[in-house]
Structure formats: C-alpha cells, structure tokens
Structure 1
Amino acid sequence: MPRRSILSAAERDNLMALPEGEDDLIRHYSFTESDLSLIRQRRGDANRLGFAVQLCLLRYPGHAMASEMPVPNAVIDWIARQIRSDATVWSKYGARDETRREHLQELRVYLGLSAFGLPDFRTLVHSLGDLAMQTDKGLVLAAQALDILRQRRIILPAMLVIERACAEAVTRANRRIYRQLLEPLQSHHLRGLDNLLNVAPDTNVTWLVWLRQSPLRPNSRYVREHIERLKIFQSLALPDGIGLQIHQNRLLKMVREGAQMTPRDLGDFEDERRYATLVALVIEGMATVIDELIDLHDRIMVKLFSAAKNKHQQEVQKQGKAFNDKV
C-alpha cells in the first residue's frame, strides 16, 4: 500500500520555491568576492553561469540542481548580471552530465556541505520527535526538517524523503502518546472503555454515542439526562491527571478522529490506538458534559428570571389600573 502523503502539491512547491522578488534575490543570491573568483575559473559563459546557479541553489533552498528542474528567469537574469554573463547561454549548460556532477562536487567542498544519507534520515526523524508530539501537520514538520538539514549543512534530499521522515516522526509520536495514555490504566479501566462500544439498554445506540449527545432544550428532563451522562463518565474512574502530559493539539486531533469513527471502526483499531482514542474521547466528553450542564443551568435560570419579570410587569400593570380606577 503506498504511503499517505502528508503534503499537498502546493505545499511542496512553496517549501522548495526559489526567490524571485528583488529583496529575496539580494538576500539569498548575492556573491562575495570569493564566490566571484571561483566562478571566473570556469571556462565559457555557459559553464560560469551554470556553476553560479548551482552555487546559489546549494545555498538556498539547499538542494542540488536536477537536470529537469526549472529555474525562474528572474533568478537566471539576476545571477547573469552579477557575473556579467549573457542569460541566454543558460540553456547550453550541462550538456554533459559529467560537467554538472564535477561542479557539484567542487561546490560541496567549497561550501562545506555533505550528502544526505541513511544516518541523516534517522537523525532527522529523531530531531522531529518533540515537534511531532505537539502537531502532526505536515507543513510545519517539513519546514522544521528543512531548517534542521540546513543548519547541519546537509544537501536537501527529494521532498519525498522529507515527507517520509516527517511521517515516521508522526508515527513514533503517536505510539508514545498511546503508551502515555495507557500506562496508568488498569484492567477495570480497560473493561469500562470497551463497554462504551456496547449498545446501551433501551436504546439502539452505543454508550459512546449516547454519551456524546447534546441536550436539545434547557429543561429539567435534559438536565437529568446530562447528569446521568456525567455519572457514567465518572464511573469509569480514570486516573486523575490522565492526558495532561499530552499536548492539547494532539489530544483534540484524536478526539476529532474518534468522533468521525463508528463504534465498529473503533473496535477494529489495534488495542493501543483503540484504548487511547477512547480515553481522549472520555476526557473531552466529560469536559463537554460539564460545560453543557453549566450552560443548561444558566439558560434555565435566565428563562425563570425572564418569566418572573414578565409576571411582575403584568401584576404591576393590573395593580396600576386598579389604583387609577380608585383614584
């Protein structure tokens, strides 16, 4: 089964986009005297321009130039003006792949860069671990991955490799989160969580679905029902503080995913993921029920005060009319 992509095509393009505005071109693609001296050592305008372009791309965004990679005209024109070359010779560069490879090797030494390898992949996955515990958003993780590789002066691999490292970091973070949520649980907690997937008596829905239902109107009937829901949540007796060590973003993501699943889908999860998801649903569900009970109380009190106020005004009007009649 192919690995699910964590980035859209637009996000990949944005992450690896080359600068085209004048300010960005000046910041990223301005040459020093040392750079110009090295560029002038190439023979022929096409080689000098191609060598200069490779130098720029290795500095930012930090990858080696591929033969099929399009380079914006604004970049070519800016570099050509600096080295006093004709931008039209760009199409002649790299007719021989060997020339391109030789230039790349020389620039790697000049810039102090190293090629990306398997040890770097493992280190990258480990470095993304803390961020993956906070978010599983591919764009955020991929941007962090690029920053890490640039700081370590490693030539960026293909975006597919970056995505794979981010996905692996998210998978490892998920497992850590599952273990942290399950570690304080005992057998009776697990039995109570499993029971949430069973059908509640006198209904055609599971306990989990019933517990997540919201009150329809602010009246005593729905208050009593919601109090019963709160009691069932409390009867699970989950350990105090469970879930506090999990970042709120990740916990809420588990709740959203769990809410979209049917009880059968949840039952098909592997044990760690199923119990962790149910714990997240219980934590969020209990907080929601408490909030809704407070809201029900407030709405009922407002309704009572409004009715009392109207009754008082009606009495005042009646008394005022009787008083006027007597006067």
Structure 2
Amino acid sequence: MAVEFLSDEQAAEYGAFPATLSRGELERYFFLDDADRELVRDKRRPHNRLGFAVQLASVRYLGRFMPDPQQVPTEVAEYLAEQLEIFDPSCLKDYGERDGTARTHAGEIQKAEGWRDFSEVTSELSEWLDARAWTTGDGPKALFDAAVGWLRERKVLLPGATRLARLVGSCREAATQRLWETLHDLLDDDQRAALDGLLEVPEGHRHSRLDRIRRPPTRVSGPAMVDALQRAAEILGLGFAEVDTEVVPPRRLAELSRYGVQGKAALLRRHGDSRRAATLLATVVYLQTRAVDDALDLLDVLISSKLLARAERASAKEKLRTLPRLGKASAKLAAAFGVLLEMAQFSRSSREPQSSG
C-alpha cells in the first residue's frame, strides 16, 4: 500500500524538535511545575535528574519519547538544567550509560502522566479515520495531520511515521472504495450502460458525448441560447434525476463530479466498473443543475446586453429626434415668459402713487 504522500522532509519533521526554539516556547512548553519537580527529585545523580526531566518535557512537546534523549536541543537541556539548579548541562551525556535507565524512566513517566500505547487505540483511530475520510474526502496528508492531532489530544504515544501513514492510507482507500461501490449499487444495468455510452465517440465525431454535454455555452447569441436549452434537456433526459445520491456526503459527490468534468473520457474508460459508474453518476448529477444554471445565466446576459440595450438605444435615438422640436418650443416659451414678466412689471409700476412735483 502506497504511503509516499509524506516527503522526506515531512517524515523527518514528524515527532522531532524544530531547528530552533525561542525563549517564549521554552517557557511555554518546558517549564517544570511543582508536580514535575516532585517526580524528578528522587533521582540521585544530576545527569539522571536532567535526563528524566528531558524525557518528561519532550514527550509532552513531541508526543513521543526521543529515541536518544541525549540528542535534545541544547537550549532545552540548558533551560531544564537551570530550573533544576544543575550547573553543568553537559552532564546529560552520561544519561543512559547504564542499560535500561532511560527506558525505565520512560515507563515511569508514561504511567505517571497517563500516556497510552498506540496499539491500545488502533481500532478506535481506524474508525475515526474511516468516518472522517468518508465524510470529508480529505487527502492523505490532511488525514495524517488530523490523526496526529487526535493522538495528541488523547495522550497516545505517536507511532513511527511509516506505521501511522500506512494506517491512514488503508482507511482512506477503504472509504473511497466504499464510496464508489455505494454509488455503483444505486444504478441498474441499463443505467450503467447509459453512463458508459457517454464515453463513446459517435461515428463521424471527434469527441465523446460526455465531452459535448459538459461543455458550457461560450457565446452570447440566440443560437447559443437554443444550444444551451437543448443541452439542459439532453442531460435531464438521461433519466438520473430520480437517483438518490444523498446517501453519500455532498463533499464526496462534488469531489467525484469535479474529476468527471475535468478528466478525459479515455482515462475514465480505463477505471474499474465501480469507480467509473460512480464518477459518471456524480458528473451527470452535477451537470443536471449546472446546465440549467448555464442556460439561465445566458438568458440573463441576452436580456441585459441584447434586448434591453437595444431598447435603450432606440429610446436614445427617439430623444435625439425630438431635440430640434424641443429647442424651438423652449425658445417660444422663453419669449412668452419674457413678455409676461414685462407686463407684470408695467402693471406694478402703474399702480404705484405718483409723487407731486
């Protein structure tokens, strides 16, 4: 089973310290409280106290015990030694010289802190990964990261990267296969044959029927509107509107339809029966809605850019034709208004009393 989704760099970073740690990160993740100091106190020698503290803090930060505690970053060892009042952090090089010391300490820490072994939760994690993969369709790396988070939240020691990657890959493949089989089983033999017929290239044509019906309108014109309506009618006429695809999560159906809309018909033909039928069904279900939306969008553009624009142009021309008449009428009105104004002024002046000389 392929687990190559982890690059060499990602595999190296898994459960490992970063290149550097800031003082803030040290204070946040590697501070020893009173309970921690109580665990460390009964270790007799400085290198054992420091080694125990390194393992205690490292498992909290990494989610697993370091294969070699002596390889802890220098700043971590120095910060822990500072808290334990150990003046020579280099004494850590003597930790684990006696066989079994580091392993014994790891067992004590695991029991005291309540960390569980991965083998105890493998079945539970598999069920969780299966449900997540079935619902979301996340890629393997996203599922891998989610599994790491799941384990850390439940204080489960992280397994090796390859072991966890194999479990993620297995659960994801099982969920995907179940998706294909579920959609395949919704169809009868005639419907599966009809879907396969979409991949055939009719005689005298260069493209398959699927290529033709998934191609949206590209022009804004009356003939294009007719083609869009015929396309929608053809897709709806395939008879898959009554197939209840709600038995699978919408995200998984959308994922399949994207592949079916973009993939080449020749490639789709090479898939197994269940995957091919599932992909084509999801594609047709998507196109049923998409084709109607495309036709409505095209109609909207035609109305706004063709019919309404033409009406506006005709109205503008009519306005231009009336402008000369409007100008003449305005001149006459202005002249009449001037005469009325003069008459009003004359009438007012005639009513005013005349002053005696």
- Paired amino acid for 2:4: S
- Aligned partner of 2:318 in structure 1 is 315
Q: Which amino acid aligns with 1:315?
A: E
Task: Give the secondary-structure state (helix, strand or coil) at the position aligned to 2:121.
Answer: helix
> Where does 1:282-293 land on structure 2 (aligned, <5 Å)?
282-293=284-295
Q: Report what 1:36 is aligned to.
A: 37
Describe the SS at the equivalent of 1:164.
helix
Q: Does the 8 A contact of 1:136 with 1:250 survive in 2?
A: no
Correspondence for 2:219 among 199, 212, 217: 217
In the alignment, does 2:111 pair up with 1:109? yes
Looking at structure 2, the residues matched to 135 and 72 of structure 1 have their Cα atoms a distance apart, in angstroms, of: 38
State the one-letter code of the partner of 1:41.
D
- Give the aligned partner of residue 2 of structure 2: 3
- The farther-off stretch of 64-73 and 137-146 is 64-73
Question: Which one of 241, 263, 266 corresponds to residue 265 of structure 2?
Answer: 263
In structure 2, what is the equivalent of residue 166 of structure 1?
Answer: 168
Give the whole-Å Cα distance in 2 for the aligned partners of 1:91 and 1:32.
Answer: 24
Deviation at 1:38, TM superposition (A): 2.5
Residues 1:208 and 2:210 aligned together: yes
Question: Counterpart of 1:194?
Answer: 196
RMSD: 2.8
CA distance in 1 between partners of 2:40 and 2:202 (Å): 77
Distance across 2 between alignment mates of 1:254 and 1:69: 49
Residue type of the alignment partner of 1:236: L
Bigger shift: 54-63 or 310-319? 54-63
After the TM superposition, which parts of structure 1 deviate over 6 Å for at least 4 consecutive aligned residues? none
Deviation at 1:193, TM superposition (A): 0.6
Deviation of 1:298 after TM superposition, in Å, equals 0.5
Q: For residue 56 of structure 1, what is the aligned residue in structure 2?
A: 57
Match of residue 72 from structure 1: 73
* Counterpart-to-counterpart distance in 2, 1:209 and 1:87: 69
- Which of residues 247, 255, 268 in structure 2 aligns to 1:253? 255
Q: CA distance change for structure 1 residues 311 and 70 in 2, over 3 Å: closer, same or farther?
A: farther
Aligned residues: 325
Aligned 8 A contact 1:185 1:239 in 2: no
Structure 2: how far apart are the matches of 1:32 and 1:323?
92
State the shift of 1:157 in Å. Answer: 0.4
8 A contact 2:51–2:69 mirrored in 1: no
Paired residue for 2:95? 93
* 1:283–1:16 CA distance, 2 compared to 1 (3 A): farther
Give the secondary structure class of the aligned counterpart of 2:62: coil
Q: CA deviation at 1:194?
A: 0.4
Normalising by structure 1, we get a TM-score of: 0.86
SS at match of 2:118: coil
Farther-moved stretch of structure 1 (133-142 vs 259-268): 133-142
Deviation at 1:142, TM superposition (A): 2.5
Provide the C-alpha distance between the structure 1 equivalents of 2:203 and 2:231, rounded to a whole number of angstroms. Answer: 14
Shift of 1:205: 0.4
Q: Which runs of 5+ in 1 are unaligned?
A: none
1:7 Cα offset (Å) = 4.1
The answer to whether the 8 A contact 2:3-2:166 is kept is: no
Look up the equivalent residue of 1:203 and give its one-letter code.
Answer: H
1:112-167 deviation per Cα after TM superposition (whole angstroms, max 9, x unaligned): 333323x6333321121221121323344223322332344431102222222222
- Matched AA of 1:321: P
What amino acid is aligned across from residue 230 of structure 1 in structure 2? Answer: A
For each residue in 1:177-204, what CA deviation from the matched residue of structure 2 results, as whole angstroms up to 9, or x when unmatched?
2233223211121111101101145531
Tell me whether 104-113 or 304-313 shows the greater mean CA deviation.
Answer: 104-113
Aligned residues of 1:114 and 1:153 also touching (Cα < 8 A): yes
Cα distance, 1:242–1:200 mapped onto 2, change above 3 Å: farther
Structure 2 stretches of 5 or more lacking a match?
333-357
Residue 237 of structure 1, CA deviation: 1.2
**Kept in 1: contact 2:186–2:243 (CA 8 A):** no
Give the drift of 1:228.
Answer: 2.1
Query: Higher mean Cα deviation, 164-173 or 266-275?
Result: 164-173
Structure 2 counterpart of 1:230: 232
Write the deviation string for residues 95-123 of structure 1: whole angstroms up to 9, x where unpaired.
Answer: 45633223222322332333323x63333
